[in-house]
Amino acid sequence: MRSCANKNFRLKSDLSRETVHLFAMSDNLSLPEGTNIPNHIAIIPDGNRRWANEHGLPSFEGHRRGFEATPKIARAAREMGVHTLTIWAFSTENWKRSKEEVAYLMKMYEWFVDQHLKECLEDKVRIVHLGRKDRIPQTLKTKIEGAENKTAQFNKNILNVALDYGGHDEILRALKEIIIKVKKGELDYPDLEKIDGLYREEYPYYHFREFLDTKNQPYPYPDLVIRASNEKRTSGLLPWQLVYAEYYWEKDHFPDFTPAKLRDAIIDYSNRHRRFGGNETKV
């Protein structure tokens, strides 16, 4: 068996030859006139390993194909008018996978940040990391922080990369930050009895969201969640933010998820009716 380092080198070389095609182009797809486009789409790119298994290939090849699909989808989403795209790249539970697979993925995320940063700078896309930074390799952490800093001034579009992200973990981190600020006297929580009207009931929600990973974003709440590989669950992605999201279960594995299939999901979303706990409202 080849070492993980050899696989990383081979994979990075293969992808580098395809960079121009992958990052500079997406299928020229247009949406029907009158389509209601979601402001924020979150994607759970499931099924890389299953795709590889079904094609008689090693799991690393499935991950490679998933990495190939991601930039195409990100560009297509922007071209179709989606402001914010969230990609769940690696969960807090994914550390349970083999050390070889985890090391391989971390190296590929380094490559992805390097390559996709160029396009994001050109298209004025803000890159935001969702999740923990304390457990990822230092080299990757440095690259992510650099990408965030270099694109921080952009607001045309946002690309959220959820890496070492877990929903429970996000909420616990937010609560911990609030507790620390209250103890230090840096946060003064108002007496809700002195706040008039409906806003009194809503205030804690608006206040709490400023401590979540999606803080300071114009569209922190995804309108549409797409999960590949016909899995019908969220697995803890953005539990606070997904309270009113619509869901689209894509039957194909993520390596086969194309801009055309993203278009189908958006059209399906556009034909739905959302209530938000009140009267029925067409999307």
Would you list which residues are annotated within the binding site for substrate?
Answer: 47-51, 63, 91-93, 95, 97, 227, 233-235
Annotated binding site for Mg(2+): 46, 246
CA dist 149 and 142 (Å) reads 11
Q: Is 230 annotated as catalytic?
A: no
Q: Spot the catalytic one: 36, 39, 94, 123.
A: 94
CA 145, distance to chain mean position in Å, is 16
Question: Residues with Cβ < 8 Å from 223, sequence gap 6 or more?
Answer: 38, 39, 40, 41, 245, 246, 269, 283
Is 169 catalytic? The answer is no
Q: Which two tokens stand for residue 174?
A: 């937010």
Q: Which of 46, 164, 213, 223 is catalytic?
A: 46
CB neighbour burial string for 104-133, b if at least 16 within 10 angstroms, e if fewer: bbbbbbbbbbebbbebbeebebbbbbbbbe
Q: Packing angle between helix 59-79 and helix 99-123, nearest 10 degrees?
A: 20
And the tokens for 27? 């299928």
Catalogue the active-site residues: 46, 94
